[in-house]
Amino acid sequence: MRFDHLGIATRDATALAGIFGDLLGAPVVYEETFDGLRLAFLELDDGGYFELLEPMEDGTIAEYLDREGRGIHHVAIATDDVSAALDRARELGIDLVDEDPRPGAWGNEIAFLHPGSTGGVLVEFVDPDE
């Protein structure tokens, strides 16, 4: 497994992309609207990404922003097999947000672990090759 991306909740992905683009030299390499969100992925030199999550309607990220404010939302770890990663988490007694993999951005298979079991960090497993 390896680092894939850091998800950042924001009300203005365009402005934040400009800041990170200028500061880190991280260009926007992919954008899409998915599940009520505007997503922008900025590529870092090591091949990892910053994923900017801007809600376009009410939903999980909008609720998160209302409750927590803008900032880091989740960390994503790339795996070749999301189902196997979930099975390993179950074996370790980690609570799951997603019992089974589901579709995510870029058409990737994803699943989340509950932050109550992972030190307060929302962890996403992602298979970027799906």
pLDDT single digits (tens) 59-97: 999 999 999 999 999 999 999 999 999 999 999 999 999
How many Å apart are CA 129 and CA 112, to the nearest integer?
Answer: 17
CATH label of the domain that carries residue 70: 3.10.180.10
Domain assignment of residue 116, given as a range: 2-127
Report how many domains make up the chain: 1
How many Å apart are CA 48 and CA 64, to the nearest integer?
Answer: 24
From 10, 115, 95, 33, select the one nearest 86 (Cα to Cα): 95
Q: pLDDT tens digits for 4-34?
A: 999 999 999 999 999 999 999 999 999 999 9
